[in-house]
Amino acid sequence: MSPEDFLKEVQAIGEKFLLKLQKLPKADPVEIASFSVVLLFIATVLVLTIIACSCCCYGCCGCDGRPDKKSRVRPAAH
């Protein structure tokens, strides 16, 4: 897919989303609820992805970007 096609696709999705938002005040309560559930799902996925990435990055590296030696697993001595 070329960059131009990708931009056109993103623009088409954005236009559909804006059209849906414009029609939302006149929509049925069921349609409003379903649209809200979809938006809540998307927001939840994004937030959980950001949390997972930040926790993984924080656990592997220190604040300066170097690997943290304390986070490595070593076998227990007997």
**Letter for the amino acid at 3?**
P
pLDDT at 65: 56
The predicted pLDDT at position 59 comes to: 58
pLDDT one-digit tens code per residue, 11-59: 999 999 889 888 888 889 998 899 899 989 999 999 999 988 887 766 5
Report the chain's C-alpha Rg in angstroms: 22
Q: Where in the chain are the domains?
A: 3-58
- Using an 8 Å Cβ cutoff, are 42 and 36 in contact? no
Secondary structure (DSSP) of 14-38: HHHHHHHHHHGGGS-HHHHHHHHHH
pLDDT of 7 > 80? The answer is yes
Identify which of 78, 58, 74 has the alpha carbon closest to the alpha carbon of residue 66: 58
Whether the per-residue pLDDT at 67 is higher than 60: the answer is no
